[in-house]
A and B are shown apart, each in its own frame.
Chain A
């Protein structure tokens, strides 16, 4: 089957335009294609003999003067787009590439909206309740309030006591 493929997709007669084919050029194409038999390997990395034969087909086609695009197109024509190891960037398949970008933009937008909403709702003098054990860790003599991690300006004493009461029951071993 593979040999038949070799015959089918090697249109140029042997000896016509025999360019010197660099192994790197073959490898570059083979890396964008999949092994048709096993999952998870590209054509370049696959140890199977079939893939060695397919790499040889790529070499022959390049030697016959085909451009890399033509070689890839020949493989797609024979095996379908599944032979590519990344989806094409046209038609419906472009969704593979676009949707994650849109999702990231949407996520960033959502975060930005949270931030801007927070900016409007700023309560500069409201005593922000201290709600975490991190505040307490901060009270430890861990150096003067250098740089980023100074103690909170307003520890919100009342809720801290309430919280500490609960934390007194906290088992340090867990």
Chain B
């Protein structure tokens, strides 16, 4: 009964989304207010109905209704309740339903909040969202139906893939989906602006917070994925340039370029066409990314959710890109630039360079991800494009981004005075250079590390100096230091939130360099009592420990960790065998986190008779900076995106001053 109810809701949601697309576009074209209004209601209904469908699937999981193929496939009676919830997005059809649901909720929220504020855009916005939602619900309802019944009734389910039974993995996919579906909203606003011929910065104002929020979710999703890889996959790293990682990273890169480039349009009215292109590209990459993940076109560790929906995505991607670009072409005359770049040394140039750099990095990732396919088509020979390629091709480009991040905030708009720029950068550059010398004196000899660390210091110092300068200006007017900083953040959340994001990027970059360039690794087979040395640490193998649980059996090696003769504690890297998936044992690493580095251990071959075990130990310096940097980055994004009454107050005050009339103060 639950399955029927869920499927009914799903099909109705599909119908409502398709109706919303038609009704809204026809209504908007011919100015038929009632069609527009019913389009709006249809999309809101689609959101409600898809919520019912998700609820029905949850109930089916809670009841262990194994007559539903998807429930059978991704859960069992021994699956813990928490993972019953996460199983909703743990496979192909469920994740498509989840995708559709979050998209519907986002679109409904945008419609509910902005219907009157952006009256000209919203009908078209509804139409675009309805069309995208309609596509995803078509797949969910008619191609990969999560409510499909099995012809036999099994007593026990297949169980959730053991790899996915990790807290990081529980939240990693939904965060990514929220980021990816969230990017649909600014895309829909962009298309609505073109369709409605309202091509000023209105669509950017309407959607900029959505872009930031989506970007934050995408960042959280990527960060959790990295953490999951580190905690579960057991190779001592957190980013493998896997095609599916790249599929999520590419829209992130494009959205990052967009978030910067859009400031030039807001402030100077330039880059109008380019920002449209960036938005189309970003959303196109969202769809291509989903397609790459799902279609199994490129080999990946993420083969949890593959199927035959590839062709649908290919057609949708083609329609989407051709349609969007054709629309942009048709509206080019509406997108004339208000201004020109006045001088080479200007903030505009810096943002332009930012765009070149991010597009360059994006293309490097794109080309590397698709090259195996290209190579197979051209030469018939498939090649692998792995981390060595991406590290060499993409990382130098991202280093330029880091350098730009250090310099750009000091460069003024329009026509920057070279003397001012030099004055702002002199101090930080000198300190960074001193740090470089100190690092050499301390024995850092790797050129890559020296260049990267000094660049990090440079960027860190210019960012802090920029914030300190603004705070000092306020303190000169008698504000206390903490109040001055607080006022800065309140007055201009976007700028200072953005600077916090930059600080996060600096930390992240330092962590990435430290943990890659200075990683130390040892592997040995140990008998009980033997010791392994890795870096400054000694790991003594004290024996095996076996634990039985309802759903799994764990064998752990107890390793005592010592440094300089002092015992720091024990780590227990282990191997889990899940009863329902005995063919797929999980090797779970154990990590001891120290302030400046991690001791990362995992076990390989275990000889049950002699208790001899192969232990691999890795020292990852500065890896904590990676996680810290990601958290700071997300915190900064939230600062920038947080609803801000004062922004509106400033604008309304200005409006009153300029017009000399009483404009009601709003949003206080």
Contacts and interface: CB of A to CB of B under 8 A. Distances in A.
Contacts of B300: 39-40
Nearest to B206: A174
B659 interface: yes
B655 A168 contact: yes
A22 to B, nearest CB: 11
B387 interface: yes
Interface stretch (B15-23, B93-101, B146-154, B260-268): B260-268
A107 B360 CA distance: 7
A34 B384 contact: yes
Nearest to B209: A174
Interface stretch (B175-183, B408-416, B560-568): B408-416
Contact of B301 (A38, A87, A173): A38
Given A104-B363, A134-B266, A149 B655 contact: no
A65 to B, nearest CB: 23
A47 B338 contact: no
Interface in A145-174: 146-150, 152-153, 157, 160-161, 163-174
A100 B367 contact: yes
Given A27-B521, A111-B355, A152-B414, A171 B117 contact: yes
Contacts of A144: 473
Nearest to A92: B379
Contact of B492 (A80, A122, A142, A164): A142
Given A132-B265, A136-B650, A96 B383 contact: yes
Interface stretch (B51-59, B345-353, B429-437, B441-449): B345-353
Query: Looking at B200, B301, B359, B383, which has the most chain A CB atoms within 10 Å of its CB?
Result: B383
A34 B340 contact: no
A27 to B, nearest CB: 7
Interface stretch (A4-12, A67-75, A112-120): A112-120
Nearest to A105: B360
B327 interface: no
B655 A114 contact: no
B388 A40 contact: no
A143 B473 contact: yes
Interface stretch (B84-92, B123-131, B233-241, B549-557): B233-241
Given A164-B659, A170-B205, A146 B469 contact: yes
Contacts of A82: 381-384
B145 interface: no
The residue among A95, A148, A164 with the most chain B CB atoms within 10 A of its own CB is: A148
A174 B340 contact: no
A137 B587 CA distance: 53
B367 A96 contact: yes
A54 to B, nearest CB: 13
Contacts of A167: 205, 651, 655
A16 to B, nearest CB: 26
A52 to B, nearest CB: 7
B416 A148 contact: yes
Contact of B651 (A47, A130, A152, A170): A170
Contacts of B236: 45
A32 to B, nearest CB: 7
B520 to A, nearest CB: 10
A140 B378 CA distance: 59
Contacts of B424: 147-148
Contacts of B116: 171
A25 interface: no
A93 B389 CA distance: 12
Contacts of A80: 381
Contacts of A1: none
Contacts of A133: 201, 205, 266, 647, 651
Interface string A55-90: 000000000000000000000000011111111100
Contacts of A168: 651-652, 655, 663, 666
A97 B386 contact: no
Given A118-B341, A164-B651, A47 B604 contact: yes
A48 B143 CA distance: 36
A121 interface: yes
Contacts of A45: 235-237
A150 B416 CA distance: 10
Contacts of A153: 414
B342 A124 contact: yes
A166 B206 CA distance: 12
Interface in B490-532: 491-492, 494-495, 521-523
A26 to B, nearest CB: 10
A133 B652 CA distance: 11
B428 interface: no
Contacts of A165: 655, 659
A52 B356 contact: no
A13 interface: no
Contacts of B650: 136-137, 139-140
A6 B359 CA distance: 45
B156 interface: no
A118 B340 contact: yes
Interface string B34-65: 00000000000000000000000000000000
Contacts of B647: 133, 137, 172
A160 B654 CA distance: 10
Given A93-B375, A134-B266, A148 B384 contact: no
Interface in B368-401: 368, 371, 374-375, 378-379, 381-389, 392-393, 397
A87 B389 contact: yes
A167 B380 CA distance: 57
A157 B655 CA distance: 11
B114 interface: yes
A128 interface: yes
Contact of A134 (B267, B299, B383, B393): B267
Contact of B338 (A86, A128, A143): A128
B474 interface: yes
A68 B521 CA distance: 20
B168 interface: no
A157 B663 CA distance: 18
Contacts of A137: 491-492, 494-495, 647, 650
B339 A172 contact: no
Contacts of A119: 341, 343-344
Given A118-B342, A131-B268, A174-B117, A142 B488 contact: yes
A3 interface: no
B364 interface: yes
B643 interface: yes
Contacts of B359: 107
8 contacts: A39-B301, A100-B393, A104-B397, A107-B359, A132-B265, A132-B268, A140-B492, A165-B659
Interface of B: 110, 113-114, 116-117, 200-202, 205-206, 209, 234-237, 240, 242, 263, 265-269, 299-301, 303, 338-344, 347, 349, 352-353, 355-356, 359-360, 363-364, 367-368, 371, 374-375, 378-379, 381-389, 392-393, 397, 409-414, 416, 420-421, 423-424, 466, 469-470, 473-474, 488, 491-492, 494-495, 521-523, 587, 602, 604-605, 614, 643-645, 647-648, 650-652, 654-655, 658-659, 663, 666-667
Q: Which 4 A-B pairs have the closest CB atoms?
A: A143-B473, A131-B269, A85-B386, A172-B648
Given A38-B301, A133-B651, A137-B495, 8 more contacts: A82-B381, A107-B356, A131-B265, A147-B412, A147-B469, A148-B413, A166-B202, A170-B117
